[in-house]
Amino acid sequence: MWKIGRKLGFSSGELKDIQWLAVGPFQRVELCKTSSTLELKQSLKRKIERRWVEHLQKHPHDFPGPLASVCEIKMEGAILTLTLKRTDYKTYIATRWKKRKRLVKQRPLDREFPLPLSIGAVTVTEDNKIIVGIRERVGLARGLADTLPSGYFNPEEDARWEDCLVRELREEIGIEKFTKLKILGLIFDCKITQQPLLAVNLQLPFTSSEINWIGEETLEMIFIDNDINSIKERGYSWTPHARGKLILYFALS
């Protein structure tokens, strides 16, 4: 992974911001949803309420929507199983002040703080271009480049993890179709979001000229040639999740 990361132009510091929790490719991902929620001490709950009020002063449009926290990871052959428990955006945002660094091998993983699952893709067009979006209208990673689509798994809306992927594809690229899906692995962002992301590669049945959608969270869409040198030459400020997705994509191609 480090070798591919250096070829892509990422520094040692940027690579240290990434942890690979599970490396594929995987044939399928199974989500086991529990009925339990993250148990928090009363003193921490009070801090969460205060920090959420402070957060809303800067981001008044945010709301405490439902999320699914990853509490266990299991790999059996080509099957990746994630056990999830309920949490919400308020708890996640208000506990990000606790630096997670790298996840240790503890059970459950979310013993002290939520680790909300998100889904993200390296999307490649029919004319062999990687889609890149500059994130703007978001609370985290604003102004940084990220491969699209990506977003939180919603346990109330998404029956399957693929449902989250299609929803984000529609919201951020304006399409819902893909011709091929490859499950790359599970990445942990140690710096910005401090959460795990399920990374996939999507092959799209559209050329770059046929995609001109600008979503609510995206300021600009850019198309880069699908090769390592093109990524390196661009030199964008990538999010840790984006770096991890790109490394897995080229490592498993």
The predicted pLDDT at position 95 comes to 83
The predicted pLDDT at position 218 comes to 66
Residue 45 — very low, low, confident or very high, per pLDDT cuts 50/70/90? confident
Q: What is the DSSP letter of 238?
A: B
Name the residue ranges covered by the structural domains of the chain: 2-252
pLDDT in tens, 56-105: 998 888 889 999 999 999 999 999 999 999 999 999 988 876 666 677 66
Please indicate, yes or no, whether the overall pTM of this predicted structure exceeds 0.85: yes
Q: DSSP labels for 145-208?
A: EEES-EEE--TTT-SSHHHHHHHHHHHHHS----SEEEEEEEEEESSSS-SEEEEEEEE-SS-G
Residue 119 near residue 202 (C-beta atoms within 8 A): no
By CB neighbour count within 10 A (0-12 exposed, 13-18 middle, 19+ buried), where does 177 fall? exposed
Residue 166 near residue 87 (C-beta atoms within 8 A): no
CA–CA distance, 31 with 35 (Å, rounded to integer): 13
pLDDT in tens, 117-143: 999 999 999 999 999 887 665 555 565
Q: What is the DSSP letter of 75?
A: E
Q: What are phi and psi of 128, to 5 degrees?
A: 65, 50
By CB neighbour count within 10 A (0-12 exposed, 13-18 middle, 19+ buried), where does 196 fall? buried
| CATH annotation of 2-252 | 3.90.79.10
* Whether the predicted pLDDT of 116 surpasses 60: yes
The predicted pLDDT at position 26 comes to 97
Q: Retrieve residue 150's tokens.
A: 């990506």
Q: Retrieve residue 179's tokens.
A: 């011709």
